[in-house]
């Protein structure tokens, strides 16, 4: 019934110009770009003496304002606010919870010949953006490909890369776009990199409606192979010397003070920690590494093993303080080293 009423009103007022009713649009709506789910407003100002004003979205009437009775709304998403001045009347169309299908032509019509004014609405969708690995370890002179994926965008986003706040040249990465479902778009960007130092890489996706680009980051840890090999060789040499020493004295008892015994045990504990970390961390453990560069998974096994050994050492040292001086203690280093490998 409401639609029929609006139609009859439209037909009736279409004959008004011939009866001497003449008014015009002073200011029409302007283009707008918004994110899906947000609110957008369009204004249309007509001169004094207006009779009817109709708002259309992609050619379909969504709201009618009649001078004699006000706004006639057909949807909760399309409402209006009205303003009257001495020079004319302004109707403000409000579209709530905008949808991708709302994109298109928004028209203000007064049912007068050549008295239509229109603008375009662009509803955009902010999708997801991610890089699969948040941390990558790369050895010296090695090339790595870093993949950034954008899913469910409209329109397809513009992808750029940055390293330590500096823009990366577009020749260093390739971006492929594809059609997704429900009118959305996907993008896949692959950056090829041969790092010379540890750096933070940022992938940015941007569309017009976003106030700031969406971003995803990855930390690329650079491992100097020369330093790593030196440290690894030192670690292996130290472990070998301890092992050789223990095997060459399988039955010799060490007559020493408690402080010396504990000192040697803690030194073995430290060497074992280095060796275990070399085995767990790709590219080898570097003592100058930031602790944050070592993941919890890489630290878990060495720390669990060594925490047990540390407790044994502590119990040994505490108990040794109560023993008479000169008490002999047999320390089998080869068993200790063997348990770590």
- Please state, in angstroms and rounded to a whole number, the distance separating the CA atoms of residues 332 and 220: 42
Q: In whole angstroms, give the CA distance from residue 175 to residue 182.
A: 22
pLDDT (tens digit per residue) in 226-242: 555 544 555 555 554 55
pLDDT at 160 exceeding the cut of 60: yes
Residue in this structure with the two tokens 């109707």, named with its chain if needed: 91
Asked if residues 210 and 158 have their Cβ atoms less than 8 Å apart, the reply is: no
pLDDT of residue 326: 40
Whether the model pTM is above 0.85: no
Q: Above 60 in pLDDT, residue 157?
A: yes
Q: Over 50: is that where the pLDDT of 77 sits? A: yes
Q: Which of 127, 123, 146 is nearest to 186 (CA)?
A: 127
Pick the more confident residue, 333 or 193.
193
Q: Give the integer Cα–Cα distance in Å for 22 and 17.
A: 6
Instruction: Give the model's confidence band at 88: pLDDT under 50 very low, under 70 low, under 90 confident, else very high.
Output: very high
> Helices 258-280 & 225-248, crossing angle to 10 degrees?
140
Asked if residue 284 lies in contact with residue 232, where contact means CB atoms within 8 angstroms, the answer is: yes
- Nearest-angstrom CA–CA distance, 92 and 64: 11
Higher pLDDT, 200 or 278: 200
* Highest mean pLDDT: which range of 5-14, 48-57, 327-336: 48-57
Q: What is the helix (H) or strand (E) element at residue 268, kind and residue range?
A: helix 258-280
For residue 3, what is the DSSP state? H
Of 283, 301, 297, give the one whose Cα is nearest residue 232: 283
User: Is residue 64 a contact partner of residue 6, using CB atoms and an 8 Å limit?
Assistant: yes
Would you say residue 55 has pLDDT above 90?
yes
Task: Report the share of the chain in percent with pLDDT over 70.
Answer: 60
pLDDT given for residue 300 in this prediction: 56
Contacts of residues 127-131 at CB distance under 8 Å and 24 or more positions apart, as own/partner, are: 127/151, 127/152, 127/153, 127/154, 127/157, 127/184, 127/186, 127/205, 128/152, 129/157, 129/203, 129/205, 129/214, 129/215, 129/216, 130/216, 131/203, 131/216, 131/217, 131/218
Instruction: State the average pLDDT over residues 1-16.
Output: 41
At residue 236, the pLDDT reads 52
Q: Which residue has the higher pLDDT, 38 or 273?
A: 38
Confidence band for 279, pLDDT divided at 50, 70 and 90? low
Mean pLDDT of the chain: 76
Mean pLDDT of 282-294: 49
Mean pLDDT, residues 249-271 taken together: 49
In this predicted structure, the answer to whether residue 174 has a pLDDT above a threshold of 60 is yes
Q: The tokens 């002999």 sit on which residue? A: 328
Q: Residue 273's CB: how many other CB atoms inside 10 A?
A: 19
301-321: pLDDT as tens digits: 555 565 665 555 566 555 555
Residue 96 has pLDDT above 50, yes or no: yes
Q: How far apart are the first and last CA of the chain?
A: 85
Amino acid 277: pLDDT: 52
Q: In this predicted structure, what is the pLDDT of residue 87?
A: 87
Residue 69 has pLDDT above 70, yes or no: yes
Q: What pLDDT does 188 receive?
A: 98
């Amino acid at each position: 019934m409401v639609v029929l009423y609006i139609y009859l009103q439209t037909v009736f007022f279409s004959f008004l110009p011939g009866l001497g009713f003449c008014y015009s649009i002073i200011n029409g709506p302007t283009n707008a770009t918004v994110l899906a789910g947000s609110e957008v407003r369009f204004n249309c100002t007509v001169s004094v003496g207006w009779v009817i004003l109709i708002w259309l979205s992609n050619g379909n009437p969504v709201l009618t304002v009649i001078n004699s009775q006000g706004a006639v709304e057909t949807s909760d998403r399309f409402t209006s606010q009205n303003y009257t001045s001495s020079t004319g009347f302004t109707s403000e169309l409000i579209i709530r919870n905008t949808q991708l299908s709302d994109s298109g032509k928004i028209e203000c019509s007064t049912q007068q010949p050549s008295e239509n004014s229109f603008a375009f609405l662009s509803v955009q969708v902010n999708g997801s953006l991610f890089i699969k690995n948040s941390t990558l370890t790369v050895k010296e002179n090695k090339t790595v490909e870093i993949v950034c994926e954008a899913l469910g965008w409209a329109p397809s986003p513009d992808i750029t890369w940055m390293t330590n706040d500096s823009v990366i040249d577009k020749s260093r990465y390739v971006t492929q776009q594809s059609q997704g479902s429900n009118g959305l778009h996907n993008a896949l960007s692959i950056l090829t990199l041969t790092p010379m130092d540890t750096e933070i890489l940022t992938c940015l996706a941007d569309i017009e409606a976003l106030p700031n680009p969406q971003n995803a980051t990855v930390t690329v840890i650079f491992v100097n192979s020369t330093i790593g090999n030196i440290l690894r060789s030192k670690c292996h040499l130290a472990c070998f010397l301890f092992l050789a020493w223990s095997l060459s004295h399988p039955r010799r008892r060490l007559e020493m003070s408690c402080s010396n015994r504990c000192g040697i045990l803690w030194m073995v504990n430290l060497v074992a920690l280095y060796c275990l970390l070399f085995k767990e961390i790709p590219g080898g453990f570097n003592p100058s590494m930031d602790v944050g560069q070592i993941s919890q998974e890489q630290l878990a096994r060495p720390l669990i093993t060594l925490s047990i050994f540390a407790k044994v050492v502590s119990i040994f040292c505490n108990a040794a303080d109560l023993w008479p001086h000169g008490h002999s203690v047999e320390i089998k280093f080869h068993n200790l080293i063997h348990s770590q490998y």
